[in-house]
Amino acid sequence: MSNNVNPNLTKEPKRYTVSIVRGENIVDRVNKAIELIGGMKRFVKKGDKVLIKANLVDGKPYETGETVHPETIRTIIKQAKTAEASQIKVGDAVTSWDMTLYNTVAKIAEEEGAEWVDLGRSPRAEVKVENPVFFEKVSVAKELVECDVLINVGTLKTHHLAGVTVAMKNLYGVLELQDRIKYHRLDKIEEVIVDLNLVKPSSLIVVDGGYTTHHWPAFEVQKMDLAMAGDNVVLVDAVAAKVMGADPKAIRYLRWAEEHGLGSADIEKNRILGLTIEEAYRAKTVNMVDYINKESENIKIIIQGACTGCYGRLSTVTMQRFDINSAKTKLYILMGPNAKLPNPMEKDATCILCGNCLAPTFYNRLQGTHVPGCPPDLEAFAQELSNYLSPRRRLTRQEWEKIHKDMEAKGIKLPKDFKPPFSQEQ
């Protein structure tokens, strides 16, 4: 990982602006949010080529909290046209067999004089990343590098690995399928998020905050009726995290983004217009730790001061690889320097201490099996979990083959190195 800090950080820091608006009418609140930070003409000039990168992940309905409302996209297209953009493209990577939402957005784009693009399948551009966090080159949709203005349209969601998925992670949708799979396998999601944003910083960020949810598994949706707009992607993600009850200081990619000159996550040093964060907040948006603690009878994850290197990565491995209801006795998993076991603790309970900040010492008297590292090694953590939990059931070969046939019938092709997710024993 690069430790180079952007030289611009030594200069007087620039103040950025985020607006927060609440209202039942989607069009009105989006228009108002953009107006509060200076209006579309502040960002789009006559003749500009505009790319609107909208979060349409998995083609989920708007009411799930997963995706941007089509009318939000229409509103932004209209504003960009009013600002006299010469070309407007709207896109995301198509990641679902159900094309309903994608077709709706494509139709809206056509009606408004814009063009729909599947950014996961469009021609690639291999780009060198200046002063990267990790990846010196990335392959992205050519539309990303060819546009003059990138309008980043995200949603209000927590994320099992990155902490939140609002604006910065929205650029994951400019990758093709095999690269999206690759970065997950490499355990470098937060690193590549920053590197993608270094390739093309967003000019204008709009957040469709009609709902909040947790991306995977999506088990609780909260109606918010919010729209946000901002001129810096780092600040927008930090403010959005606070609106959802998450701590932006615990999100690794936000710190890396600051260090690499992408902007500021320091809310106090910047401007919030419209609603305050306190006014926008309704209740904490759940995350993977909440899900496991709710659904598992015997696992209890305790986090106090943990960053996404632990609470994101390790809780995800717990959920993805293991049957969370297979623990025979109470298992405590501690993350963060201030995490403490209950006192008294059950007689037959066991404990895993995660990361360097929970290393047992003579002074702290912590007891349990320690998995070191900052962040801890995923395989070492998984190996320790396997002492207490059974593997999660995978698809049988017959189940997978049926799914694969359905995919082929819809014209969906998998990358050559894709490993079928069925159990090899069946």
| Beta carbons of 72 and 78 less than 8 angstroms apart | no
Most distant CA pair in the chain, distance: 71
Is residue 311 domain-resident? yes
Flag the least confident range among 35-44, 75-84, 334-343, 414-423: 414-423
Same domain membership, residue 85 and residue 234? yes
Is residue 2 domain-resident? no
| Beta carbons of 137 and 110 less than 8 angstroms apart | no
- DSSP code of 270? S
Tell me which residue has tokens 């209740």: 283
pLDDT at 9: 45
Same domain membership, residue 125 and residue 48? yes
Total structural domains within the chain: 3
Total-model pTM: 0.90
Indicate the SS3 state at residue 40: helix
d(CA 202, CA 234): 10
| Alpha-carbon separation of residue 331 from 21, 155, 358, 367, 384 (angstroms) | 43, 34, 16, 13, 12
End-to-end CA distance of the chain: 40
Residue 6 confidence (pLDDT) above 80? no
pLDDT at 55: 98
Q: How confident is the model over 309-358, as pLDDT tens digits?
A: 999 999 999 999 999 999 999 999 999 999 999 988 898 999 999 999 99
Is residue 53 domain-resident? yes
Instruction: Give residue 138's identity as a one-letter amino acid code.
Output: V
pLDDT at 396: 73
Q: What is the mean pLDDT of residues 16-37?
A: 99
Q: What is the mean pLDDT of residues 12-16?
A: 80
CATH number of the domain within which 159 lies: 3.40.50.11440
pLDDT at 204: 99
Same domain membership, residue 206 and residue 115? yes
Reported as a pLDDT band with limits 50, 70 and 90, residue 1 is: low
Phi/psi of residue 345, nearest 5 degrees: -105, 150
d(CA 290, CA 299): 11
Strand partners, 83: none
Residue 228 confidence (pLDDT) above 90? yes
Residue 425 confidence (pLDDT) above 50? no
- Give percent of the chain above pLDDT 90: 84
DSSP-H helix ranges across 83-208: 100-111, 142-146, 177-185, 189-199
Same domain membership, residue 90 and residue 118? yes
Same domain membership, residue 311 and residue 194? no
pLDDT at 254: 99
pLDDT at 217: 75
Q: How confident is the model over 351-405, as pLDDT tens digits?
A: 999 999 999 998 888 989 999 999 999 999 999 999 999 998 776 777 777 777 7
Domain boundary among 236, 259, 280: 280
Average pLDDT taken over every residue of the chain: 93
Flag the least confident range among 9-23, 123-137, 169-183: 9-23
Residue 18 confidence (pLDDT) above 70? yes
Same domain membership, residue 90 and residue 38? yes
Is residue 82 domain-resident? yes
Same domain membership, residue 144 and residue 68? yes
Same domain membership, residue 361 and residue 250? no
Same domain membership, residue 165 and residue 25? yes
Domain boundary among 225, 254, 280: 280
| Alpha-carbon separation of residue 20 from 76, 213, 268, 272 (angstroms) | 16, 18, 15, 7
Reported as a pLDDT band with limits 50, 70 and 90, residue 412 is: low
d(CA 221, CA 312): 20
Which residue from 49, 29, 9 is spatially nearest to 234, judged by alpha carbons?
A: 9
pLDDT at 421: 54
Same domain membership, residue 419 and residue 374? no
The tokens describing 385, both together, are: 């979990």
d(CA 170, CA 152): 7
Reported as a pLDDT band with limits 50, 70 and 90, residue 423 is: very low
pLDDT at 410: 65
The tokens describing 293, both together, are: 């603690």
pLDDT at 97: 82
Residue 182 confidence (pLDDT) above 80? yes
Same domain membership, residue 252 and residue 352? no
| Alpha-carbon separation of residue 243 from 116, 185, 230, 252, 275 (angstroms) | 31, 30, 14, 18, 11
Indicate the SS3 state at residue 228: strand
The DSSP string of 172-225 is GGGS-HHHHHHHHHTT-HHHHHHHHHHHS--SEEEEEEEEEEESSS----EEEE
Q: How confident is the model over 245-296, as pLDDT tens digits?
A: 999 999 999 999 999 999 999 999 999 999 999 999 999 999 999 999 999 9
Reported as a pLDDT band with limits 50, 70 and 90, residue 10 is: very low
pLDDT at 206: 99
pLDDT at 70: 98
pLDDT at 4: 53
d(CA 133, CA 168): 14
| Residue-range definition of the domain harbouring residue 296 | 288-385
Same domain membership, residue 137 and residue 213? yes
Is residue 213 domain-resident? yes
Q: What is the mean pLDDT of residues 209-235?
A: 94
d(CA 240, CA 166): 7
Q: What is the mean pLDDT of residues 46-70?
A: 97
pLDDT at 416: 55
CB neighbours of residue 316 within 10 Å:
22
